[in-house]
Amino acid sequence: MLVLSRKLGEKIYIGDNICITVVDIDRGKIRLGIEAPRDVPIYRQELLPLNHPRPDAAHPAAPAPTAAAS
């Protein structure tokens, strides 16, 4: 995960066509503006479609191998 610090009004660009702007900071809450092409889906984590796994669940830890009993 890339972690960046931004101040009010500063922007972050992702690729050539996605721009994220810090539009408001108030009492511990940050508002972001996202400019992206209409064909790029943007979801809040709690509203992710059920057919898309959450990013943290996409690669679950593999269980430790167990020795076979002889």
Over the stretch 2-48, which tens digit does the pLDDT of each residue have? 999 999 999 999 999 999 999 999 999 999 999 999 999 999 988 88
DSSP 46: G
Mean pLDDT of 46-58: 67
Q: Are 32 and 22 in contact (CB under 8 A)?
A: yes
In this prediction, residue 23 carries a pLDDT of: 98
> Taking the alpha carbons of 62, 56, 38, 4 in that order, is the dihedral positive or negative?
negative
Q: Are 34 and 17 in contact (CB under 8 A)?
A: no
Question: For residue 39, with 0-12 CB atoms within 10 Å meaning exposed, 13-18 middle and 19 or more buried, which class applies?
Answer: exposed
